[in-house]
Structures are given as structure tokens and as C-alpha cells.
Amino acid sequence: MGGKKIVCRCNDVTVEEVEALIDSGVTDIEEIKRLLRIGMGPCQGRTCIPIVLSILARKTGKRQEEIPLPKARVPTRPVRVEVIVGGADE
């Protein structure tokens, strides 16, 4: 059973896509995040970031501890909690 090896279920990113990006010279986790949208889905990276860090460490020969975690970004403008949880109209 071959099939795709999914790294990010939220945005349907595969191991092959991550490895291809790293092989093309992109080794910064922030850049990988922006290009593949990992960590930007509903799980906010709880699943995919550790997997991508392990792939990045394996491909670059670094230890995972040496690779800085991507920065969390807050919304650019304040949003009421009701809007986020769906209890109010935008």
C-alpha cells in the first residue's frame, strides 16, 4: 500500500513536498511554514510542526533542538472571541 504520506492533515501537505522544498535549498522552518502553510490550519501546528522539524533535522544533519520553532503570529487586528467561536456575526 503506497499512497501519500501526509505531514499536515489540515492543509494536505505530504512528506514528499516537504523533502522537495528542503532539497531545493529551503531549510528555514519559517520559510517552509509560509510556502507550504504548515501550522496554519485548525491544529495550529500541533501535529505537523514536530514532524516537519524531524524531517528538517534528518535532511540537514542538525539535531531537532538546534532548529528554532516557528514564531506564533497573532491576528493583525483585534477579533472578538464570539466571532472566532461562531457566536456572533462578523
**Residue 70, domain extent:** 6-85
Indicate the pTM of the whole model: 0.75
Flag whether 19 is in a domain. yes
Flag whether 65 is in a domain. yes
Flag whether 1 is in a domain. no
- For 65-84, the pLDDT digits (tens) are 999 988 877 667 777 888 88
What is the spatial distance between Cα 46 and Cα 72, in angstroms, rounded to a whole number? Answer: 12
Flag whether 90 is in a domain. no
Output DSSP code: residue 16: H
In this structure, the dihedral spanned by the alpha carbons of residues 69, 37, 11 and 53, taken in order and rounded to 10 degrees, is -30
Flag whether 47 is in a domain. yes
- For 6-55, the pLDDT digits (tens) are 999 999 999 999 999 999 999 999 999 999 999 888 888 899 999 999 99
Flag whether 74 is in a domain. yes
Beta strands in 1-87 (DSSP E): 6-8, 13-14
Number of domains in the chain: 1
> Which CATH number covers residue 18?
1.10.10.1100
